[in-house]
Structure 1
Amino acid sequence: MAFNARLSPRLIVSDPDGASAFYQQVLSAEEVFRAPGDDGRPTVVDHRIGDWSFRVSPAVAAWGWTSPEDLGGSPVLMEIEVDDPDAVGARMTAHGAEVVVPIENRPYGKRSGRLRDPFGHLWIITGELR
């Protein structure tokens, strides 16, 4: 069965404003939409990188939205393919990300590594071999 659909991951974080700023600084994400809640914090911030989009929202227990920090980690890997994985990895670590697996040439023909952003989400940063 074919149908039109669009899938947009939503990253649940403790600090949506901080996460939004982080993703804008390190991934050149463009903020395209923000919905403020009653308390002034955003309930959702929509970002775009090229044709790809993702959202950031706060952890809200009453909604069942828990962050990786609440759960002791994240079982989900976000993978982004970029022209220069080393530069993106360096920007991420300069802004508080932790290297989990160093960015290196891999035997499967990619240059990639894994980082945990300051909000607990895991990212595979990948690109062409050098």
Structure 2
Amino acid sequence: MTSELHPKLFVSDADAAIDFYTTTLDATLDLRVADDHRVVHHAEIILGSAILALAQSVPEWGWNTPGSVGGTPVLITANVSDPDATAERMVHRGAELVIPVENRPYGKRQGRVRDPFGHLWVISGPLR
């Protein structure tokens, strides 16, 4: 049996989020499902071997953005080959640098950003 986890992020603007994540994380859009009103209820982007799903928030369904609930309780880690460049791209595209990317004593080069949709990311990679 194969087990996988596909987290789904709820965002205020799904198409903007698709653009942000594919551009800044070098991810690929694999699936986009929208209703007749062009509201994206499910999209999947591929980052390496990981699948990240996202959708437009729909509060009446309980699909809330981090901002609507006072922030996110989840921290997402993206392991990338160049964490400095990835964090820089994210900030350039509207993310907030929360913790600078630096070599950490536990053997990784990491920093933290809050994306324009309120989700927190640890951008991680090899030591430099």
SS in 1 for 2:23: helix
Following superposition of structure 1 onto structure 2, how do residues 1-80 of structure 1 map, counting pairs within 5 Å? 3-80=1-78
- Separation in structure 2 between the aligned mates of residue 32 and residue 55 of structure 1, nearest angstrom: 10
How far 1:5 moved relative to its partner?
2.6
- The alignment's C-alpha RMSD in Å is 0.9
- 1:86 equivalenced with 2:84 (yes/no): yes
- Separation in structure 1 between the aligned mates of residue 34 and residue 69 of structure 2, nearest angstrom: 25
Q: 1:129: which partner in 2? A: 127
Where has structure 1 moved over 3 Å in runs of 4 or more? none
- Separation in structure 1 between the aligned mates of residue 39 and residue 19 of structure 2, nearest angstrom: 14
**Unpaired segments ≥5 residues, structure 1:** none
Following superposition of structure 1 onto structure 2, how do residues 90-101 of structure 1 map, counting pairs within 5 Å? 90-101=88-99
- 1:102 equivalenced with 2:100 (yes/no): yes
Q: What TM-score, normalized to structure 2? A: 0.96
Superposed CA deviations along residues 53-86 of structure 1, whole A, max 9, x for unmatched, are: 0111011012111010111210101101111100
- Separation in structure 1 between the aligned mates of residue 83 and residue 126 of structure 2, nearest angstrom: 8
